């Protein structure tokens, strides 16, 4: 329930920001291309995070504005991701790990023709909801184990870089393929301990 409420709040917040950006944005002589998009992703986790959560899936809702004069774009996105526990992690009970990202970033389109390869960089915050139990050795008693119960939410920073290719199917409809590297900053001692490779497909609707 908390995840749903957080997602609703995120969508309302981002919609308000989008509207303000659209109002404040000054078009160049060549104008801007604005679009809304929906992206579906699978995530292959890496390094420390993979030891606990092997993979995940989710989606983004995206708003973007592309400058036709210099091929740079301003991108906002939010979404929802859920991760599957690694069987070797030793979790017990009903475990889940969910992320609601709030991100802003940019893309650089190499061309703005029918085929549109681009580079991207995003950064922002993750609303993280986690619940799981794990049994670990008791540091104070040799040979004794204790059960740790994790259940709560927190907000942490994130960033991602990647590349993609968009193909205009019609004047207003575009399909995209994307590949991204994620890094989510959780613990100061392990600054990149939630990392993953995202593979996704998106549909964008261009506003005219």
Report pLDDT digits (tens) over 31-77.
899 999 999 999 998 877 788 888 999 999 999 999 999 999 999 99
Reference 186, options 130, 104, 148; nearest CA is 130
Buried b (16+ CB within 10 A) or exposed e, 127-136: bbbbbbebee
The model's confidence at residue 136, banded by pLDDT at 50, 70 and 90, is low
pLDDT above 90: percentage of residues in the chain: 50
Mean pLDDT of 17-34: 54
The neighbouring-strand residues paired with 1 are none
CA atoms within 13 A on the CB side of 5: 4
One-character DSSP codes across 105-165: EEEEES--SSEEEEEEEEEEEEEEEEEEEEEEE-TTSTT-EEEEEEEEEEEEEEEEEEEEE
Residue 16 has pLDDT above 60, yes or no: no
Look at residue 184 and tell me whether its pLDDT is greater than 60: yes
pTM > 0.95: no
Tokens of 53: 């959560």
Q: How far apart are CA 175 and CA 97, in angstroms?
A: 29
pLDDT at 163 over 80: yes
Q: Which two tokens stand for residue 31?
A: 């104008």
Q: How far apart are CA 15 and CA 11, in angstroms?
A: 6
Task: DSSP letter for 70, please.
Answer: T
Beta-ladder partners of 151: 131
Take residue 30 and report the two structure tokens written for it. 């060549």
Q: What is the tens place of the pLDDT at every residue in 141-152?
A: 666 566 777 788
């Amino acid at each position: 329930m908390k995840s749903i409420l957080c997602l609703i709040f995120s969508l309302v917040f981002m919609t308000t920001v989008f509207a303000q950006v659209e109002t404040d944005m000054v078009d160049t002589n060549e104008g801007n291309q604005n679009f809304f998009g929906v992206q579906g992703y699978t995530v292959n986790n890496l390094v420390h995070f993979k030891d606990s959560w092997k993979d995940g899936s989710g989606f983004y809702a995206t708003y973007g504005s592309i400058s036709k004069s210099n091929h740079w774009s301003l991108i906002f996105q939010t979404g929802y991701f859920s991760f599957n526990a690694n069987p070797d992690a030793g979790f017990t009970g009903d475990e889940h790990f969910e992320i609601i990202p709030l991100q802003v970033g940019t893309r650089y389109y190499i061309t703005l023709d029918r085929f549109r390869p681009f580079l991207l960089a995003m950064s922002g915050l993750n609303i993280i909801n986690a619940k799981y139990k794990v049994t670990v050795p008791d540091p104070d008693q040799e040979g004794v184990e204790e059960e740790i119960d994790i259940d709560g939410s927190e907000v942490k920073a994130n960033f991602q870089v990647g590349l993609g290719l968009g193909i205009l199917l019609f004047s207003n409809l575009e399909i995209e393929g994307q590949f991204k590297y994620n890094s989510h900053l959780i613990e100061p001692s392990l600054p990149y301990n939630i990392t993953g490779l995202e593979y996704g497909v998106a549909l964008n609707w261009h506003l005219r």
